[in-house]
Amino acid sequence: MDGFYGGYALVGLVLLVGVSFVTVAFAANRMLRPTVPGGDKAVTYECGVDPVGEGWAQSHLRYYVFAYLYVVFAVDAIYLFPWATIFAAPGFGATTLVEMFVFLAFLSVGLLYAWRKGVLAWR
Amino acid sequence: MTDVLEVALRLVLILVAFLTLPLLVGQAEHKAMAHMQSRLGPMYAGGFHGWAQLVADGVKFAQKEDLVPAAADRTVFKLAPAVGLIPYLVVLVAIPVAPGGGVAQELDAGIFFVIAVMGIGVLGSLMAGWASANKYSLLGGLRSAAQLMAYELPFLLAAASVAMAAGTLSLSGIVEAWEPWWLLWQLPGGVVFFIAGLAELQRPPFDMPVADSEIIFGAYTEYTGLRFALFLLAEYVGIVVLAALTTVLFLGGWKGPFDTALWGAPGVVWTLLKVFALSFVVIWLRVSYPRLREDQLQRLAWQGLVPVALAQLALTGVVAVAIS
């Protein structure tokens, strides 16, 4: 289990352990539980009264702009990680630091713009 | 042969940690909340201070009928608890608890891996909310999604700040590079990281997605029995994972306040102590603060935590270049 990808072999194994844990739990559950399907139990729960309309109702996604903002910022933020490992290394120093401030300034201006536009208020 | 044994041992250790630590946190929550609210909490099960209450709950959950609403999207509905739970198990692989290979698997991009995998857990809530075909579940699921989007960013930025300070993405490497004065240097980032992590776990005061007084139990409304238990387990494993990550990134992981060789306290003890202390803070916050409204949640994230995290990045950059 050497090398960059070799390390992920154990991750795969743990994923298998997780899947088998869930499988075993449900197998035990199947043996222990009663099974009497149907009836009122299968009705959608709506505080005790019969459900009105269907569950997949239309709703107003107030935060779709937040979603856009998030995508923009998250994609930017990913670039921070590889840069973070070397920016203070010998031979980089001040120049990389200035570059970081340019990068942060772009992010901040974006956030300020959204703020000023009133996008960040929940309306 | 020894390799196989070692891998097996690591897998067993992860599974044991995965199954026992959340129970300890859960029991601590029962008792700490009870005493903060001037009551006793569970006292009957198991005899001594109700220590077996969570075991009894588990047995009860395992015996309950597995109900799927007639209107639900069956496959997704049944799959959701596993999707919500397994990522937290996988995250445990990369968390170092002791020096010199005290980690199930050292990953070069550990911090990146951990944050990426933790984000998957929220998909479980989203799947549950959509597949239940219940209005309350749908609202809860959408609130979960909104919360993830708002708080993932400060979470990511605060973690990036530590990676910058340490100059590595490896979690063990970060703890090795950590020095006590980082407590002050990385303090704003640490606070942001912890708050954002709390919000991602949907723990009070950020429990808008499961607000029981308005949307029943959010995305988990239609769940019963074992599937519901798995969601609950995911929440408590989440607390352990968040506490462990905060410990590793901001509190120096296995490093103690004095020379551990002298006192004979191994690194694991320090790690566990810090993890439990932070878990206690999580419980404490639940008892102390009222739930935030949805617009307050978004405002705190975008106008509070994100600017602080960006400022922390700038501070980290300047100091790191100055001392190098």
Which residues of chain A does B152 touch, with a Cβ-Cβ cutoff of 8 Å? 70, 74
Contact (CB<8Å) B138/A56: yes
Which residues of chain A does B149 touch, with a Cβ-Cβ cutoff of 8 Å? 63, 66-67, 70
In a domain, A13, yes or no: yes
In a domain, A70, yes or no: yes
Residue A55's pLDDT is 67
Q: Containing domain of residue A88, as a range? A: 3-116
What's the token pair of residue B167?
A: 């100059």
Q: Considering just the CA atoms, what is the radius of gyration of chain A in Å?
A: 26
B93: confidence class by pLDDT, cuts 50, 70, 90: confident
In a domain, A123, yes or no: no
Contact (CB<8Å) A43/B321: no
Which residues of chain A does B67 touch, with a Cβ-Cβ cutoff of 8 Å? 41-42
Contact (CB<8Å) A18/B86: yes
The reply to whether omega before B205 is within 30° of 0 (cis) is yes
Please give the backbone phi and psi of residue B101, each rounded to the nearest 5 degrees, phi first.
80, 25
pLDDT greater than 70 at residue B262: no
Contact (CB<8Å) A97/B216: no
Question: Other CB atoms closer than 10 Å to residue B47's CB: what's the count?
Answer: 9
In a domain, A74, yes or no: yes
In a domain, A86, yes or no: yes
Residue A61's pLDDT is 67
Which positions ≥6 away from B25 have C-beta within 8 Å? B236, B239, B240, B276, B279, B283
What's the token pair of residue B187?
A: 């303090």
Rounded to a whole number, what is the distance in Å from the CA of A34 to chain B's nearest CA? 6
For the stretch B267-313, pLDDT in tens is 788 888 889 999 999 999 989 988 888 788 888 888 889 889 988 98
**How many domains, in total, are found in chain A?**
1
| CATH code assigned at A50 | 1.20.58.1610
Residues within 8 A of A (CB atoms), B 36-75 only: 62-72
In a domain, A122, yes or no: no
Q: What is the mean pLDDT of chain A?
A: 78
For the stretch B34-55, pLDDT in tens is 999 998 878 888 888 888 888 8
B298 touches chain A (CB under 8 A): yes
Substitution target in B67, B226, B318 with the highest count of A β-carbons within 10 Å is B226
Q: Which residue of B has its CA nearest to A102?
A: B314
Contact (CB<8Å) A100/B157: no
Contact (CB<8Å) B321/A88: yes
Residues β-bridged to residue B255: none
B263: confidence class by pLDDT, cuts 50, 70, 90: low
In a domain, A121, yes or no: no
Residue B193's pLDDT is 93
Nearest to A97 among B70, B93, B321 (CB): B321
Contact (CB<8Å) A35/B66: yes
Q: Find out whether B146 and A63 touch, Cβ atoms under 8 Å.
A: yes
B264: confidence class by pLDDT, cuts 50, 70, 90: low
Residue A89's pLDDT is 72
Residues within 8 A of A (CB atoms), B 183-212 only: none
